[in-house]
Amino acid sequence: MSNLAVLPILLPLLAGIFLAFIHKKTKLVRILSKAFAIINLLVAGVIFMQVRNNGNIVLEMGSWDAPFGIVLVADLLAMTLVFTTNIIAVASVFFAPQSLSEKEESFYFYTFFFMLISGVSGAFLTGDLFNLFVFFEVLLMASYGLIVLGNGKAQLRESIKYVLINLFSSMLFVTTIAFLYSVVGTVNMAQAAQRVHEVEQQGILTTIAILFFFVFATKAAVFPLYYWLPRPYISPNPVVSALFGALLTKVGVYSILRTFTLIFNQEVELTHTLFIYLAALTMIFGVVGALSTNNIKLIVAYNIIPAVGFMLMGIGIFTEVSITGTIYYLVHDMVIKGALFILVGATAYVAGTSDLRKMGGLIHHYPVLGWLMFLASLVLAGIPPFSGFIGKLLLLRGGLGEEEIFIVIIALISSLLILFSMIRIFISGYWGEKMDIPVPERKKKGKRMALPAAGLLTVSILLGVGAEWFFPTIEIIAQYMMDPELYIDSVLKE
């Protein structure tokens, strides 16, 4: 039974390897990869229901008992995120043939794609810090492959910076794990959480906590470590941008959420106050970046940053309500960022440019795309009754409950500015004078591009309108996160 936990990692891995052998038969590969993605989604759904009904699934690899071997822990938080990841994967697989050229597809796009999904799922599921590093590397290696796909001038230039930044933070991650190992004598998260209470010197543990935060914050693009993010995210193909925007920074946020609720919950005043200040700065600087540019892809890429700020704010406030808000926002943000990147990719494709000043009146040619874009902007900014609103409401309620008025005000202002930055795309791109760019084959493709985004938007609207269905589960997760004993007991079985 516990073997189920490995399936979300194993299935995409096998799919990726299998598709590498037949990479030249494009049509077959397309059908097969869609099938694999859907099967994977169903499997993740089944495991999610299992975990929801029967509690955590803990898989001890090679039958080594928990603190000695590697464990995979499928708890509700991990499975929720794995399930969301697979929703993004299905949408991306349907978007890929429209977005990529046939040559790019045959150059192992689907192999890298499934490896990325495998790495992301692994990072969510693992219960061992060193294994987290290994899965980070798995997903980063796949992302290096994806970012250079197409071999463009800008892509190669930006990919070098992306690889270097990630390599540096990975090496720091290994060093920090070594520090933690020397202090608590384990790399298993549950055992580390247990032993952290027994260590006499809290000072060194706080230092290690900050080092871990530095590593995860680099991956999650928290102020001031976000500078690397926007450009590498927009230089590759739109489908790759959608995958990156939806998944990669969220792995960083998940790692912060996991380690700082489970292991480093000792000196809350210091670390979590730091989080609140950094969250405020992240929101402000991200939004300023989004307002500063006329490139529609860059606007969406900059909008990743304030979203990370919102999630970090929830972790910083550190009450049950705010953690609920963070998890809700995390799921919402994965879905909506996927949809938005697909939509701006489609917009840039049909307009033939990604410069806002050169486009206008697209709504006359592409009404569906235009209204989807409008809807997506509202969802992102958190207009009720969409999903962004529920997450933000919970976060703000958490903030007010702890009397953190300052961060609440900044969050409200930055939400308004996010709406402004997004609606600018709609106003100057889709509104206005009719532009004469009716290229017929683009029109047909543009319509097909809207389909996966519409699917993701439906999920996102369901998350908002049907909040009553999802809310109890997410509340259970938050209660579980606030009580590390539950995690420790389920892994170490004492």
Partner 1 sequence: MEIIMAILAGILFTMGVYNLLQKQLLRIIIGTGLISHGAHLFILTMGELKTGAPPVLTEGVENYTDPLPQALILTSIVISFGVTSLLLVLAYRAAKINGTDNMEQLRGNDYE
The footprint of partner 1 (CB under 8 A) covers 130, 133-134, 137, 141, 144, 148, 151, 153-154, 156-160, 163-164, 167-168, 170-172, 174-175, 177-179, 181-182, 187, 231, 234, 293-295, 298
For the CB of residue 32, give the shortest distance to partner 1 in the complex, in Å. 27
Give the residues across from 58 on adjacent strands.
Answer: 73
**Whole-number Å distance between alpha carbons of 142 and 387:** 30
Nearer to partner 1 among residue 173 and residue 310 (C-beta)? 173
For the CB of residue 489, give the shortest distance to partner 1 in the complex, in Å. 24
Instruction: Give 237's contacts (C-beta < 8 A, 6+ positions apart).
Output: 99, 100, 104, 149, 150, 345
Give the burial class of 354: count Cβ atoms within 10 A of its Cβ; 0-12 exposed, 13-18 middle, 19 or more buried: buried
Distances (CA, A) of 142 to 83, 137, 270, 430: 20, 8, 36, 35
**Whole-number Å distance between alpha carbons of 292 and 334:** 24
Nearer to partner 1 among residue 214 and residue 471 (C-beta)? 214
Nearer to partner 1 among residue 7 and residue 140 (C-beta)? 140
For the CB of residue 30, give the shortest distance to partner 1 in the complex, in Å. 27
Nearer to partner 1 among residue 168 and residue 469 (C-beta)? 168
Structure tokens at 124: 């969510």
- Are 323 and 314 within 8 A, CB to CB? yes
**Whole-number Å distance between alpha carbons of 446 and 365:** 10
Backbone region of residue 433 per phi and psi (left: phi > 0; alpha: psi in -120 to 50; beta: other values): beta
Distances (CA, A) of 452 to 90, 143, 336, 337: 8, 21, 12, 13
Nearer to partner 1 among residue 50 and residue 170 (C-beta)? 170
Nearer to partner 1 among residue 130 and residue 277 (C-beta)? 130
For the CB of residue 343, give the shortest distance to partner 1 in the complex, in Å. 19
**Whole-number Å distance between alpha carbons of 448 and 83:** 25
CA atoms in the 13 A half-sphere facing the CB of 356: 22
- Are 109 and 146 within 8 A, CB to CB? yes
For the CB of residue 215, give the shortest distance to partner 1 in the complex, in Å. 12
Cα 197 to chain centroid, rounded:
31
For the CB of residue 356, give the shortest distance to partner 1 in the complex, in Å. 11
Q: Residue 144: helix, strand or coil by DSSP? A: helix
**Whole-number Å distance between alpha carbons of 191 and 488:** 7
For the CB of residue 174, give the shortest distance to partner 1 in the complex, in Å. 5
For the CB of residue 231, give the shortest distance to partner 1 in the complex, in Å. 6
CA-nearest of 491, 461, 366, 477 to 78 is 477
Nearer to partner 1 among residue 157 and residue 443 (C-beta)? 157
For the CB of residue 170, give the shortest distance to partner 1 in the complex, in Å. 8
Instruction: Give 151's contacts (C-beta < 8 A, 6+ positions apart).
Output: none
Nearer to partner 1 among residue 170 and residue 273 (C-beta)? 170
Nearer to partner 1 among residue 41 and residue 296 (C-beta)? 296
For the CB of residue 336, give the shortest distance to partner 1 in the complex, in Å. 23
Nearer to partner 1 among residue 98 and residue 295 (C-beta)? 295
For the CB of residue 21, give the shortest distance to partner 1 in the complex, in Å. 21
Structure tokens at 260: 């700082």
CA Rg, the chain, in Å? 22
Nearer to partner 1 among residue 289 and residue 306 (C-beta)? 289
Nearer to partner 1 among residue 53 and residue 201 (C-beta)? 201
Instruction: Give 399's contacts (C-beta < 8 A, 6+ positions apart).
Output: 313, 317, 322, 405, 407, 408, 411
Structure tokens at 160: 């070098």
- Are 302 and 293 within 8 A, CB to CB? yes
Q: Residue 444: helix, strand or coil by DSSP? A: helix
For the CB of residue 282, give the shortest distance to partner 1 in the complex, in Å. 21
